[in-house]
Amino acid sequence: MTNKKVITDHINKLENRYDINLGLSIKFIVIYYNVGDNSFGVESNKYKEFIEKGECFIFKLNEVNEISIPSTIGIVNTGIRIFKTLHNRDEKNVFLYHVLVRFPQKKK
């Protein structure tokens, strides 16, 4: 999986530094994966397990859900996964969307 410390640092910045007024109830983090074929599923599952532990968050993790991406043209996108985490901050619900995007490695 991508460097856990880097991801934790960015999540912590989202929770504390980028929301000075403490008013945003919905936030997004995008994680790019430059992985080979058939690796994205494994790596994104590792990411899900990582966030489910809750150790990367400042505010208590209440739940983790995967968001399905509906296909309007009958094609399933296997290069994007989205997880939504719910946290409680000052008795308010805060949602963090984790958007995982696969960038295929260039063929040589």
pLDDT tens string 6-64: 989 988 888 887 776 667 889 999 999 888 778 888 999 999 999 999 889 888 899 99
59-79: pLDDT as tens digits: 889 999 999 877 666 666 778
Q: Residue 72 is which amino acid?
A: T
Q: Looking at residue 90, what is its pLDDT? A: 82
83 burial level (CB within 10 Å; 0-12, 13-18, 19+): buried
Q: Which residues pair with 12 in a beta bridge?
A: none
8 Cβ neighbours under 8 A, 6+ residues apart: 55, 56
Strand partners, 96: 27, 85
